[in-house]
Protein backbone atom coordinates (compact mmCIF):
# COMPACT_ATOMS: atom_id res chain seq x y z
CA UNK A 1 0.00 0.00 0.00
CA UNK A 2 1.20 3.45 -0.89
CA UNK A 3 1.93 5.30 2.37
CA UNK A 4 0.71 8.60 0.94
CA UNK A 5 -2.59 7.00 -0.06
CA UNK A 6 -3.01 5.42 3.37
CA UNK A 7 -2.40 8.76 5.06
CA UNK A 8 -4.91 10.50 2.79
CA UNK A 9 -7.57 7.83 3.34
CA UNK A 10 -6.98 7.79 7.10
CA UNK A 11 -7.41 11.56 7.09
CA UNK A 12 -10.84 11.24 5.46
CA UNK A 13 -12.00 8.86 8.19
CA UNK A 14 -10.50 11.01 10.95
CA UNK A 15 -12.21 14.12 9.60
CA UNK A 16 -15.56 12.34 9.33
CA UNK A 17 -15.53 11.42 13.03
CA UNK A 18 -13.50 14.35 14.32
CA UNK A 19 -15.35 17.35 12.93
CA UNK A 20 -18.14 18.91 14.95
CA UNK A 21 -21.24 16.89 14.19
CA UNK A 22 -19.21 14.04 12.74
CA UNK A 23 -20.37 10.43 12.89
CA UNK A 24 -19.48 8.40 15.99
CA UNK A 25 -17.51 5.81 14.00
CA UNK A 26 -16.75 4.54 10.53
CA UNK A 27 -15.05 1.62 8.79
CA UNK A 28 -13.83 1.91 5.19
CA UNK A 29 -12.08 -0.54 2.91
CA UNK A 30 -10.91 -0.65 -0.71
CA UNK A 31 -9.96 -3.66 -2.80
CA UNK A 32 -8.55 -4.66 -6.14
CA UNK A 33 -9.25 -8.02 -7.76
CA UNK A 34 -6.82 -9.79 -5.41
CA UNK A 35 -7.17 -8.34 -1.92
CA UNK A 36 -7.97 -5.30 0.16
CA UNK A 37 -5.38 -2.58 -0.33
CA UNK A 38 -6.88 -0.36 2.37
CA UNK A 39 -8.60 -1.10 5.67
CA UNK A 40 -9.36 1.74 8.03
CA UNK A 41 -11.49 2.48 11.09
CA UNK A 42 -12.03 5.59 13.19
CA UNK A 43 -14.16 6.67 16.12
CA UNK A 44 -16.25 4.57 18.48
CA UNK A 45 -18.85 1.82 18.15
CA UNK A 46 -21.09 3.85 20.44
CA UNK A 47 -20.94 7.52 21.23
CA UNK A 48 -19.79 8.16 24.78
CA UNK A 49 -18.33 4.67 25.18
CA UNK A 50 -14.70 3.55 25.08
CA UNK A 51 -15.01 0.66 22.62
CA UNK A 52 -13.23 1.74 19.42
CA UNK A 53 -14.50 1.14 15.91
CA UNK A 54 -12.29 -1.57 14.41
CA UNK A 55 -12.14 -3.21 10.96
CA UNK A 56 -13.92 -6.29 12.34
CA UNK A 57 -16.83 -4.29 13.80
CA UNK A 58 -20.22 -5.80 12.91
CA UNK A 59 -22.93 -3.60 11.40
CA UNK A 60 -26.50 -3.88 10.20
CA UNK A 61 -25.77 -3.57 6.48
CA UNK A 62 -29.41 -2.93 5.46
CA UNK A 63 -29.95 -2.62 1.68
CA UNK A 64 -26.44 -3.70 0.74
CA UNK A 65 -28.06 -7.10 1.42
CA UNK A 66 -29.95 -6.73 -1.88
CA UNK A 67 -27.04 -7.50 -4.20
CA UNK A 68 -26.39 -10.79 -2.41
CA UNK A 69 -30.06 -11.76 -2.70
CA UNK A 70 -29.89 -10.86 -6.37
CA UNK A 71 -27.02 -13.33 -6.81
CA UNK A 72 -29.10 -16.16 -5.32
CA UNK A 73 -31.85 -15.44 -7.84
CA UNK A 74 -29.42 -15.22 -10.79
CA UNK A 75 -28.01 -18.61 -9.79
CA UNK A 76 -31.52 -20.01 -10.27
CA UNK A 77 -31.68 -18.31 -13.67
CA UNK A 78 -28.38 -19.96 -14.62
CA UNK A 79 -29.73 -23.35 -13.60
CA UNK A 80 -32.88 -22.89 -15.66
CA UNK A 81 -35.08 -23.14 -12.56
CA UNK A 82 -36.59 -19.68 -13.12
CA UNK A 83 -36.72 -17.07 -15.86
CA UNK A 84 -36.71 -13.34 -15.24
CA UNK A 85 -39.80 -13.05 -17.42
CA UNK A 86 -41.76 -15.45 -15.18
CA UNK A 87 -44.75 -14.03 -13.25
CA UNK A 88 -43.74 -13.88 -9.59
CA UNK A 89 -47.05 -15.47 -8.57
CA UNK A 90 -45.82 -18.79 -9.99
CA UNK A 91 -43.45 -18.99 -7.01
CA UNK A 92 -45.10 -16.74 -4.41
CA UNK A 93 -48.89 -16.82 -5.08
CA UNK A 94 -49.61 -14.17 -2.41
CA UNK A 95 -48.01 -11.48 -4.55
CA UNK A 96 -50.96 -11.70 -6.94
CA UNK A 97 -53.13 -10.19 -4.18
CA UNK A 98 -51.26 -6.87 -4.27
CA UNK A 99 -53.23 -4.02 -5.82
CA UNK A 100 -52.47 -0.57 -7.15
CA UNK A 101 -53.20 2.43 -4.94
CA UNK A 102 -55.61 4.77 -6.70
CA UNK A 103 -55.83 7.48 -4.06
CA UNK A 104 -57.67 7.70 -0.75
CA UNK A 105 -61.34 8.17 0.10
CA UNK A 106 -62.58 11.02 2.30
CA UNK A 107 -62.40 8.76 5.36
CA UNK A 108 -58.71 8.04 4.69
CA UNK A 109 -59.26 4.53 3.42
CA UNK A 110 -57.26 3.60 0.31
CA UNK A 111 -58.91 3.17 -3.07
CA UNK A 112 -57.47 0.17 -4.90
CA UNK A 113 -57.60 -1.44 -8.32
CA UNK A 114 -56.07 -4.48 -9.95
CA UNK A 115 -52.73 -3.96 -11.70
CA UNK A 116 -52.89 -3.87 -15.49
CA UNK A 117 -49.73 -5.99 -15.72
CA UNK A 118 -48.55 -8.98 -13.70
CA UNK A 119 -45.48 -8.57 -11.52
CA UNK A 120 -42.56 -10.52 -12.99
CA UNK A 121 -39.24 -11.47 -11.45
CA UNK A 122 -37.70 -8.87 -13.71
CA UNK A 123 -39.91 -6.15 -12.23
CA UNK A 124 -38.84 -7.17 -8.73
CA UNK A 125 -35.13 -7.29 -9.56
CA UNK A 126 -35.29 -3.87 -11.26
CA UNK A 127 -37.57 -2.11 -8.71
CA UNK A 128 -40.23 -1.47 -11.34
CA UNK A 129 -43.04 -3.48 -9.72
CA UNK A 130 -44.60 -0.45 -8.00
CA UNK A 131 -43.63 -1.53 -4.49
CA UNK A 132 -42.04 1.09 -2.27
CA UNK A 133 -40.81 1.70 1.30
CA UNK A 134 -42.87 3.58 3.84
CA UNK A 135 -40.03 6.07 4.47
CA UNK A 136 -39.79 6.99 0.76
CA UNK A 137 -43.51 7.44 0.09
CA UNK A 138 -46.14 9.29 2.07
CA UNK A 139 -48.80 7.27 0.23
CA UNK A 140 -47.17 3.96 1.18
CA UNK A 141 -46.94 5.14 4.79
CA UNK A 142 -50.59 6.25 4.78
CA UNK A 143 -51.67 2.92 3.30
CA UNK A 144 -49.70 0.95 5.89
CA UNK A 145 -51.22 3.03 8.66
CA UNK A 146 -54.76 2.56 7.33
CA UNK A 147 -54.31 -1.20 6.98
CA UNK A 148 -52.22 -1.81 10.10
CA UNK A 149 -49.26 -3.17 8.12
CA UNK A 150 -46.09 -3.35 10.25
CA UNK A 151 -42.90 -1.45 9.49
CA UNK A 152 -40.39 -3.09 7.21
CA UNK A 153 -37.82 -3.28 10.03
CA UNK A 154 -40.11 -5.75 11.81
CA UNK A 155 -38.57 -8.32 9.43
CA UNK A 156 -41.97 -9.92 8.94
CA UNK A 157 -43.85 -11.29 5.94
CA UNK A 158 -46.77 -8.99 6.72
CA UNK A 159 -44.47 -5.99 6.21
CA UNK A 160 -43.98 -6.69 2.49
CA UNK A 161 -47.66 -7.42 1.69
CA UNK A 162 -48.35 -3.78 0.98
CA UNK A 163 -49.49 -1.82 -2.08
CA UNK A 164 -48.30 -0.90 -5.57
CA UNK A 165 -47.86 2.81 -6.26
CA UNK A 166 -48.11 2.26 -10.02
CA UNK A 167 -48.58 -0.52 -12.53
CA UNK A 168 -45.65 -2.92 -12.90
CA UNK A 169 -43.15 -1.69 -15.47
CA UNK A 170 -44.30 1.94 -15.50
CA UNK A 171 -41.56 3.49 -13.34
CA UNK A 172 -38.58 2.86 -11.09
CA UNK A 173 -39.73 2.90 -7.46
CA UNK A 174 -37.36 1.67 -4.77
CA UNK A 175 -38.93 -0.69 -2.25
CA UNK A 176 -39.49 -4.17 -0.85
CA UNK A 177 -38.91 -5.95 -4.16
CA UNK A 178 -35.85 -7.97 -3.10
CA UNK A 179 -37.68 -9.22 -0.03
CA UNK A 180 -40.12 -10.85 -2.45
CA UNK A 181 -37.19 -12.17 -4.50
CA UNK A 182 -35.92 -13.79 -1.31
CA UNK A 183 -39.28 -15.52 -0.93
CA UNK A 184 -39.01 -16.74 -4.54
CA UNK A 185 -35.57 -18.19 -3.83
CA UNK A 186 -36.88 -19.92 -0.71
CA UNK A 187 -39.82 -21.38 -2.63
CA UNK A 188 -37.61 -22.85 -5.35
CA UNK A 189 -34.78 -24.03 -3.11
CA UNK A 190 -36.98 -25.27 -0.26
CA UNK A 191 -34.70 -23.57 2.29
CA UNK A 192 -34.53 -20.36 4.30
CA UNK A 193 -32.79 -17.60 2.40
CA UNK A 194 -30.01 -17.47 4.97
CA UNK A 195 -29.20 -21.12 4.39
CA UNK A 196 -29.22 -20.63 0.62
CA UNK A 197 -26.80 -17.73 1.01
CA UNK A 198 -24.59 -19.79 3.32
CA UNK A 199 -24.37 -22.74 0.93
CA UNK A 200 -24.17 -20.90 -2.38
CA UNK A 201 -22.54 -17.52 -1.65
CA UNK A 202 -20.90 -17.33 1.76
CA UNK A 203 -19.15 -20.72 1.75
CA UNK A 204 -17.55 -20.43 -1.72
CA UNK A 205 -16.49 -16.86 -0.91
CA UNK A 206 -15.25 -17.80 2.59
CA UNK A 207 -17.59 -15.21 4.11
CA UNK A 208 -18.01 -16.14 7.77
CA UNK A 209 -18.76 -12.94 9.69
CA UNK A 210 -22.18 -12.43 8.09
CA UNK A 211 -25.76 -13.60 8.55
CA UNK A 212 -29.36 -12.72 9.33
CA UNK A 213 -28.71 -13.92 12.90
CA UNK A 214 -25.61 -12.70 14.73
CA UNK A 215 -23.46 -15.17 16.60
CA UNK A 216 -22.51 -14.19 20.18
CA UNK A 217 -19.09 -13.14 18.88
CA UNK A 218 -20.69 -10.91 16.27
CA UNK A 219 -23.03 -9.43 18.90
CA UNK A 220 -20.00 -8.51 21.02
CA UNK A 221 -18.51 -6.55 18.09
CA UNK A 222 -21.72 -4.83 16.97
CA UNK A 223 -21.73 -1.09 16.42
CA UNK A 224 -24.76 0.70 17.84
CA UNK A 225 -27.05 2.61 15.49
CA UNK A 226 -27.24 6.34 16.21
CA UNK A 227 -29.83 9.01 15.46
CA UNK A 228 -29.05 12.52 14.28
CA UNK A 229 -31.86 14.86 15.33
CA UNK A 230 -32.97 17.81 13.22
CA UNK A 231 -30.80 20.08 15.39
CA UNK A 232 -27.74 17.89 14.71
CA UNK A 233 -27.62 16.24 18.11
CA UNK A 234 -26.47 12.60 17.92
CA UNK A 235 -27.94 9.99 20.25
CA UNK A 236 -27.09 6.30 20.55
CA UNK A 237 -30.03 3.91 20.13
CA UNK A 238 -28.65 0.61 21.52
CA UNK A 239 -31.98 -1.22 21.29
CA UNK A 240 -32.49 -0.44 17.60
CA UNK A 241 -31.75 -3.85 16.10
CA UNK A 242 -33.37 -6.08 13.54
CA UNK A 243 -35.15 -9.00 15.27
CA UNK A 244 -32.82 -11.77 16.35
CA UNK A 245 -33.83 -14.20 15.00
CA UNK A 246 -36.11 -12.61 12.37
CA UNK A 247 -39.48 -14.04 11.45
CA UNK A 248 -38.36 -13.79 7.81
CA UNK A 249 -34.90 -13.60 6.27
CA UNK A 250 -35.30 -10.22 4.61
CA UNK A 251 -33.58 -10.29 1.23
CA UNK A 252 -33.87 -6.52 0.99
CA UNK A 253 -32.18 -5.43 4.20
CA UNK A 254 -31.68 -8.12 6.83
CA UNK A 255 -27.98 -9.03 7.00
CA UNK A 256 -25.45 -8.21 9.69
CA UNK A 257 -21.77 -8.33 8.72
CA UNK A 258 -18.33 -6.93 9.23
CA UNK A 259 -17.20 -4.85 6.27
CA UNK A 260 -14.32 -7.17 5.41
CA UNK A 261 -16.80 -9.93 4.65
CA UNK A 262 -18.62 -7.77 2.11
CA UNK A 263 -15.31 -7.00 0.41
CA UNK A 264 -15.11 -10.70 -0.51
CA UNK A 265 -18.45 -10.35 -2.29
CA UNK A 266 -17.22 -7.23 -4.11
CA UNK A 267 -14.12 -9.12 -5.26
CA UNK A 268 -16.30 -11.93 -6.63
CA UNK A 269 -18.09 -9.40 -8.85
CA UNK A 270 -14.74 -7.89 -9.87
CA UNK A 271 -13.49 -11.39 -10.79
CA UNK A 272 -16.44 -12.25 -13.04
CA UNK A 273 -18.11 -14.57 -10.53
CA UNK A 274 -15.11 -16.47 -9.14
CA UNK A 275 -14.34 -16.75 -5.43
CA UNK A 276 -11.65 -18.49 -3.34
CA UNK A 277 -13.56 -21.79 -3.36
CA UNK A 278 -14.74 -21.74 -6.95
CA UNK A 279 -17.25 -20.09 -9.22
CA UNK A 280 -20.37 -18.46 -7.75
CA UNK A 281 -21.74 -17.07 -11.02
CA UNK A 282 -20.93 -17.45 -14.69
CA UNK A 283 -18.97 -14.58 -16.19
CA UNK A 284 -21.77 -13.72 -18.61
CA UNK A 285 -24.23 -13.63 -15.69
CA UNK A 286 -22.06 -11.06 -13.89
CA UNK A 287 -21.88 -9.04 -17.09
CA UNK A 288 -25.66 -9.21 -17.38
CA UNK A 289 -26.08 -8.08 -13.77
CA UNK A 290 -23.82 -5.09 -14.46
CA UNK A 291 -25.91 -3.85 -17.41
CA UNK A 292 -29.02 -1.74 -17.11
CA UNK A 293 -32.23 -3.73 -17.33
CA UNK A 294 -34.35 -0.62 -17.60
CA UNK A 295 -35.85 0.48 -20.91
CA UNK A 296 -36.64 4.15 -21.22
CA UNK A 297 -36.57 4.59 -17.41
CA UNK A 298 -33.89 6.25 -15.29
CA UNK A 299 -33.15 6.11 -11.57
CA UNK A 300 -33.74 9.35 -9.71
CA UNK A 301 -33.70 10.64 -6.17
CA UNK A 302 -36.09 10.22 -3.29
CA UNK A 303 -38.30 12.28 -0.99
CA UNK A 304 -38.51 11.26 2.62
CA UNK A 305 -41.81 10.57 4.36
CA UNK A 306 -40.09 9.71 7.68
CA UNK A 307 -37.34 12.32 8.23
CA UNK A 308 -35.89 10.40 11.18
CA UNK A 309 -35.00 7.53 8.81
CA UNK A 310 -33.98 9.34 5.64
CA UNK A 311 -33.21 12.77 4.31
CA UNK A 312 -34.37 13.83 0.87
CA UNK A 313 -31.61 13.00 -1.55
CA UNK A 314 -30.09 11.62 -4.70
CA UNK A 315 -26.72 10.17 -5.67
CA UNK A 316 -24.85 12.63 -7.89
CA UNK A 317 -27.83 14.80 -8.89
CA UNK A 318 -27.96 15.58 -12.59
CA UNK A 319 -25.95 12.49 -13.51
CA UNK A 320 -28.01 9.89 -15.45
CA UNK A 321 -28.38 6.60 -13.58
CA UNK A 322 -29.77 3.16 -14.44
CA UNK A 323 -30.40 -0.10 -12.58
CA UNK A 324 -29.04 -3.62 -13.05
CA UNK A 325 -29.47 -6.93 -11.18
CA UNK A 326 -29.24 -5.52 -8.55
CA UNK A 327 -27.10 -2.38 -8.45
CA UNK A 328 -27.38 1.25 -9.44
CA UNK A 329 -25.31 2.05 -12.55
CA UNK A 330 -23.84 5.49 -13.16
CA UNK A 331 -24.36 6.14 -16.87
CA UNK A 332 -21.72 8.88 -16.87
CA UNK A 333 -18.49 9.30 -14.92
CA UNK A 334 -19.02 10.52 -11.35
CA UNK A 335 -17.30 13.57 -9.83
CA UNK A 336 -15.53 11.15 -7.47
CA UNK A 337 -13.70 9.54 -10.40
CA UNK A 338 -15.76 6.39 -10.99
CA UNK A 339 -15.98 5.63 -14.73
CA UNK A 340 -19.31 5.41 -16.50
CA UNK A 341 -21.12 2.10 -16.37
CA UNK A 342 -20.02 0.98 -12.91
CA UNK A 343 -21.99 -0.22 -9.88
CA UNK A 344 -22.95 1.01 -6.44
CA UNK A 345 -25.59 0.91 -3.76
CA UNK A 346 -26.17 1.72 -0.15
CA UNK A 347 -27.76 0.82 3.17
CA UNK A 348 -30.13 2.85 5.32
CA UNK A 349 -27.74 3.48 8.23
CA UNK A 350 -25.31 5.24 5.88
CA UNK A 351 -23.42 2.37 4.33
CA UNK A 352 -22.19 2.77 0.74
CA UNK A 353 -20.26 0.59 -1.70
CA UNK A 354 -19.05 0.81 -5.28
CA UNK A 355 -17.74 -1.79 -7.73
CA UNK A 356 -15.65 -0.64 -10.69
CA UNK A 357 -15.31 -3.65 -12.99
CA UNK A 358 -13.50 -1.55 -15.60
CA UNK A 359 -10.55 -0.64 -13.38
CA UNK A 360 -10.82 -3.63 -11.04
CA UNK A 361 -11.41 -1.75 -7.79
CA UNK A 362 -14.20 -1.45 -5.26
CA UNK A 363 -14.84 -0.04 -1.84
CA UNK A 364 -17.20 0.02 1.11
CA UNK A 365 -17.92 2.79 3.61
CA UNK A 366 -19.75 1.66 6.73
CA UNK A 367 -21.33 3.71 9.50
CA UNK A 368 -24.36 3.25 11.76
CA UNK A 369 -26.28 6.49 11.83
CA UNK A 370 -29.74 7.67 10.75
CA UNK A 371 -31.23 9.37 8.78
CA UNK A 372 -29.99 8.12 5.40
CA UNK A 373 -27.60 10.29 3.35
CA UNK A 374 -26.27 11.78 6.56
CA UNK A 375 -24.69 15.22 6.38
CA UNK A 376 -21.37 13.84 7.61
CA UNK A 377 -21.20 10.18 6.60
CA UNK A 378 -22.29 10.51 2.97
CA UNK A 379 -19.77 13.28 2.12
CA UNK A 380 -17.17 11.13 3.88
CA UNK A 381 -17.96 8.27 1.51
CA UNK A 382 -17.64 10.53 -1.55
CA UNK A 383 -14.32 11.89 -0.22
CA UNK A 384 -13.07 8.34 0.40
CA UNK A 385 -13.95 7.16 -3.10
CA UNK A 386 -12.41 10.33 -4.56
CA UNK A 387 -9.22 9.66 -2.61
CA UNK A 388 -9.02 6.12 -3.99
CA UNK A 389 -9.35 7.29 -7.60
CA UNK A 390 -6.99 10.22 -7.14
CA UNK A 391 -4.24 7.88 -5.99
CA UNK A 392 -5.00 5.28 -8.66
CA UNK A 393 -4.34 8.01 -11.22
CA UNK A 394 -0.88 8.80 -9.84
The predicted structure's pLDDT at residue 53: 98
The predicted structure's pLDDT at residue 393: 84
The predicted structure's pLDDT at residue 163: 98
Phi, psi of 7 (to 5 degrees): -65, -40
pLDDT tens per residue across span 322-372: 999 999 999 999 999 999 999 999 999 999 999 999 999 999 999 999 999
**84-99 average pLDDT score:** 98
63 has catalytic annotation: yes
Region of residue 100 (left: phi > 0; alpha: psi -120 to 50; beta: else): beta
The predicted structure's pLDDT at residue 271: 98
133 has catalytic annotation: no
- Each domain of the chain, given as residue ranges in start order, spans 3-64+206-392, 76-186
352 has catalytic annotation: no
* Options 63, 137, 305, 310, the catalytic residue: 63
Phi, psi of 176 (to 5 degrees): -85, 25
The predicted structure's pLDDT at residue 2: 82
Of 155, 154, 133, the closest CA to residue 143 belongs to 133
Query: What are the start-end ranges of the E strands in the chain?
Result: 25-31, 36-43, 58-60, 100-104, 110-113, 210-211, 226-228, 234-236, 256-258, 274-275, 278-279, 321-323, 328-330, 342-347, 351-356, 361-366, 369-370
pLDDT tens per residue across span 183-214: 999 999 999 999 999 999 999 999 999 999 99
Measure CA 240 to chain center: 18
Instruction: Judge contact between 225 and 167, C-beta under 8 A.
Output: no
How far is Cα 151 from Cα 143, in angstroms, rounded to an integer?
A: 12
Q: 3-state class of 59 per DSSP?
A: strand
**373-386 average pLDDT score:** 97
| Res. 227 pLDDT band, cuts 50 70 90 | very high
* Options 38, 91, 133, 174, the catalytic residue: 174
What are the distances in angstroms from CA 19 to CA 14, 45, 234, 242, 245? 8, 17, 13, 30, 37
pLDDT tens per residue across span 136-155: 999 999 999 999 999 999 99
For 93, residues 6+ apart whose C-beta sits below 8 A from its C-beta are none
Q: Domain 3-64+206-392 belongs to what topology?
A: Beta-lactamase (3.40.710)
Residue 1, pLDDT > 60, answer: no
Residue 93, pLDDT > 90, answer: yes
Mean pLDDT, all residues of the chain: 97
| Res. 62 pLDDT band, cuts 50 70 90 | very high
* Options 38, 66, 133, 258, the catalytic residue: 66
The predicted structure's pLDDT at residue 3: 87
DSSP assigned state of 384: H
Amino acid sequence: MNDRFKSAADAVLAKTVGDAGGVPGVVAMATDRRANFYEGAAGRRQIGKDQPMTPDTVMAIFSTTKAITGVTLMQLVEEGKVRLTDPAREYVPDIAELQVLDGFAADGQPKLRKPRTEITLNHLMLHTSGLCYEFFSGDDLKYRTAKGIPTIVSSSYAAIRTVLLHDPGDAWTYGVNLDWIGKVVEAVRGQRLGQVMQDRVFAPLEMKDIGFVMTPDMQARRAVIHDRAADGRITAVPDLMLPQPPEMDMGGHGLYASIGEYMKFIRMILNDGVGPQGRVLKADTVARMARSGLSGIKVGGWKTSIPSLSNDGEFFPGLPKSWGYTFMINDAATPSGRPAGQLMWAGLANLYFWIDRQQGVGGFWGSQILPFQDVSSYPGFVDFETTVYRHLAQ
